[in-house]
Structure 1
């Protein structure tokens, strides 16, 4: 996991006509993005960023000059190298560390893959996609998820949908 880039935000669309973009934030708010000037291995250079006062942000990148270019970025994840991020405390992790992990029961039975991690206020929630495409969500608690490593996430069978 240590060489895997960490996604901090995603472009949700254009904002205005001058090339600004709207961002969905995956971290601790707009202030978590401000220290980073280069995203996606230097492909995007942050010039300006501000809160949209709705939990997201509005950003301007040097490489984006107009609304058409901004719209073309819709869906683009904004990632940085793990080395530029602060060291994690014990029991801390980045959501991106969980994405695409194989999910198994405590007995080792394959269930699918982690396809998303969300937080709706109470606790972190993982979304699991089964081999047949069906999805279900479980809380990211010790009771539901006894643990994970670089290769797989273990799920308590009582939480399997």
Structure 2
């Protein structure tokens, strides 16, 4: 059963380091915050496992995000080693979500139920492949499927109640995870 309140982790991924930029340790950075430049306001950024901290020295907007220099990263070779690292901050450093808003991390672990109350499964991920947000649900059968994350497919999110209402397309069949066989006479 999903945890009440969804997958509320204590840390939120706010950015990802891209390719090195220049010879003096700069990197390209992609922001995941609603206000793209906000990642720089939350203090030092950390790796997912918390073993490395990065203090921002400078930030400049660039074509596809930002060019960032971190304190202590002064050579391209150092910057090259940082590519694809996701950067996190503690949840308490982020502003509280407004009414009707949420952090995507809050959705992980929510029960996905039909409007009739039938359990579909559990939200295991959110994705964006460029054409809009998609939720990934592990169905009660154990398979996973993806749904558009829009108000037609997901008309209600109840984070406090630990569930989201999902109106699945007709081709998604909700199955009992362990169908019962009738006893033979």
Shorter-chain TM-score above 0.5: yes
Tell me by how many angstroms 1:19 deviates.
Answer: 1.1
Report whether the alignment pairs 1:27 with 2:27.
no
Report whether the alignment pairs 1:8 with 2:5.
no
Distance in 1 between the 2:66 and 2:100 partners? Answer: 28
What are the Cα deviations for residues 71-117 of structure 1, in whole angstroms up to 9, with x where unaligned?
2212211111122222221111122323x435533244344544224
Q: Report the equivalent of 1:45.
A: 55
Match of 1:68 among 70, 73, 77: 77
User: TM-score, with normalisation over the residues of structure 1?
Assistant: 0.75
Tell me by how many angstroms 1:140 deviates.
Answer: 2.9
User: TM-score, with normalisation over the residues of structure 2?
Assistant: 0.67
Aligned length: 155
Runs of at least 5 residues in structure 2 that lack an aligned partner in the other structure: 1-6, 173-185
Distance in 1 between the 2:170 and 2:21 partners? Answer: 41
RMSD value, Cα: 3.0
| SS class of match (1:10) | strand
- Indicate the structure (1 or 2) with the bigger Cα radius of gyration: 2
More RCO (CA 8 Å, sep 6+): 2
Tell me by how many angstroms 1:44 deviates.
Answer: 0.9
When residues 3 and 102 of structure 1 are mapped into structure 2, their CA distance, relative to the original with a 3 A threshold, is closer
Distance in 2 between the 1:46 and 1:7 partners? Answer: 16
Contact 1:14 1:20 in 2 (8 A): yes
